[in-house]
Amino acid sequence: MARKIGLYGILAYFLYGLFFYWYLFYFADTSLPFEYQGTMADPATFLNGRELMLSEEFSRIRNLLFFLAGPFEWLFYLFILLLGLSRIFKNWAVSSAKYKWLQTPIYLIWLSVFSFIASFPLSYIGYSLSKSYHISTQSFASWMKDELIDFWIGYGWLLITASVLYWLIRKSAKRWWLYAWLLSVPFTLFMVFLQPVIIDPLYNDFSPLKNKELEAKILEIAEKADIPADHVFEVNMSEKTNSMNAYVNGIGANARIVLWDTTLNKLSEDEILFIMAHEMAHYVEKHIYFSIVKSLLFSLLGLYLAAKLMNWCIRRFGPALKIPSIQDISSLPLLLLLLSMLTFVSDPLSHAISRYQETRADRYAIEMTRDAEAGITSFQELTRSGLSQVNPPFLVKFFRYSHPTMLERISTLEEYAVKEKRRKE
């Protein structure tokens, strides 16, 4: 049974990868509809021939890596179970520590190390791809540092959640998923509060914006939006990437307005003010809080389904997966596999909600700045710096895009500019 499951798993992954390779490289049509050709949304009007070619190449390979990464993680967890490695990790933990409270951390370090090693090739290919297309400017040493920070943060998160989850499972095998979700609510809010001041600085250095004249103008917009911020922060991202970003994160007194230095270097003042008005719209329209609620609702449904599916899998395939019971820590890879699959399935709905919020934020920025031209040129520069596709394939947008496509964003701004011009005439 274990051999058959493993064979089917490899075959399914191969066919899945083959389908997306065919879809992205041979089937998907990314050309613009006729009515958009020659408009400001047409990449041929603001990208040269080489940039057009590179954006298509880069996007296809990057999208293929995305579609391969998730199912590869599922295949990894599946083989950790089928080969009995999860049970071996548990036995090593038991033989290494006589105290039970030490056994879970030891089990998890083995699982985390094997996961890191298995996922490293795809991660490195992604890094090399960005480097070769001049998106990333990060040295290998700096990239590895970030990877190791990710590893230890991930391990710490896994240690906390797995310890609590399996304690709850042993206490209540039927309702552990509900108790776990209830505990996740205050923890999620706590993490959102800490993110700007604890987590983000582990990766990059933040400092007050040096351009005080620009800071005053941004804070003026922030005051209109009732954002409790006394400073605008800039972060030195040019040592890692050529792409651009800006954001407002945190809640309450911990709200932070942040600009990447690449954004400061590549965009004009009017373009920066448009981007910042867009980001502040998320705060004004409470998108941060809606996102928290959405995340909690999705996690409630996800934990419930994972619990049901986990019980079914153990009843049906327990011996093949080398899992004696749901209470056993060796069942953790199965839980992680199921949660990852459920996340993948739910992402399209989550992204659709996010795209709606981003559309609202674009409209807010237009109304706040009355400068559609600055919005158009900023989106054009974002496309150029990230080698993004203006009109991505349907499945890419469906599974990947948390923002509207650049075709949609730029054409909306262009329509607004035309209407404003007619109104003034």
Catalytic residue among 215, 279, 371, 414: 279
Cα-Cα-Cα-Cα torsion 175, 178, 181, 182, nearest 10 degrees, comes to: -110
Buried b (16+ CB within 10 A) or exposed e, 92-114: ebeeeeeeeeebbebbbbbbbeb
The whole-number pLDDT of residue 254 equals 64
Which residue has better confidence, 126 or 223? 126
Mean per-residue pLDDT, 289-303 = 91
The whole-number pLDDT of residue 297 equals 94
Tell me the pLDDT tens digit for each residue of 40-96.
999 999 999 899 999 999 999 999 999 999 999 999 999 999 999 999 999 999 988
425 pLDDT higher than 70: no
Q: Cβ distance 159 to 104 under 8 Å? A: yes
Annotated binding-site residue? 278: yes
How is residue 32 annotated by DSSP? P
Q: Cβ distance 273 to 374 under 8 Å? A: yes
Q: Start-end ranges of CATH 3.30.2010.10 in the chain? A: 206-284
Largest CA distance in the chain: 83
Mean per-residue pLDDT, 318-345 = 93
Percent of the chain with pLDDT over 90: 61
The whole-number pLDDT of residue 20 equals 96
Tell me the pLDDT tens digit for each residue of 188-243.
877 777 777 677 777 777 888 888 888 888 888 888 777 777 778 888 888 888 88
pLDDT band for position 377 (cuts 50, 70, 90): very high
The whole-number pLDDT of residue 371 equals 87
251 pLDDT higher than 90: no
Given CATH 3.30.2010.10, say whether it is the number of domain 206-284.
yes
Please give the Cα distance from 421 to 71 (Å, whole number). Answer: 50
The whole-number pLDDT of residue 275 equals 92
252 pLDDT higher than 70: no
279 is catalytic: yes
pLDDT band for position 284 (cuts 50, 70, 90): confident
Question: 259: which strand partners?
Answer: 234, 246
- Strand order in 246-249's β-sheet? 206-208, 232-235, 256-260, 246-249
Mean per-residue pLDDT, 356-364 = 93
Which residue has better confidence, 420 or 150? 150
78-92, 155-169, 201-215, 358-372: least confidently modelled range: 201-215
Q: Residue holding tokens 């509809």?
A: 33
269 is catalytic: no
Tell me the pLDDT tens digit for each residue of 311-329.
999 999 989 999 988 999 9
Catalytic residue among 73, 215, 261, 362: 362
Annotated binding-site residue? 415: no
pLDDT band for position 31 (cuts 50, 70, 90): confident
Q: Residue holding tokens 């064979």?
A: 7
pLDDT band for position 285 (cuts 50, 70, 90): confident
Average pLDDT, the chain: 90
Annotated binding-site residue? 358: yes
Burial class (CB in 10 A: 0-12, 13-18, 19+), 65: middle
Which residue has better confidence, 237 or 300? 300
Q: Cβ distance 375 to 327 under 8 Å? A: no
Structure-token pair, residue 72: 């590869």
Mean per-residue pLDDT, 233-258 = 80
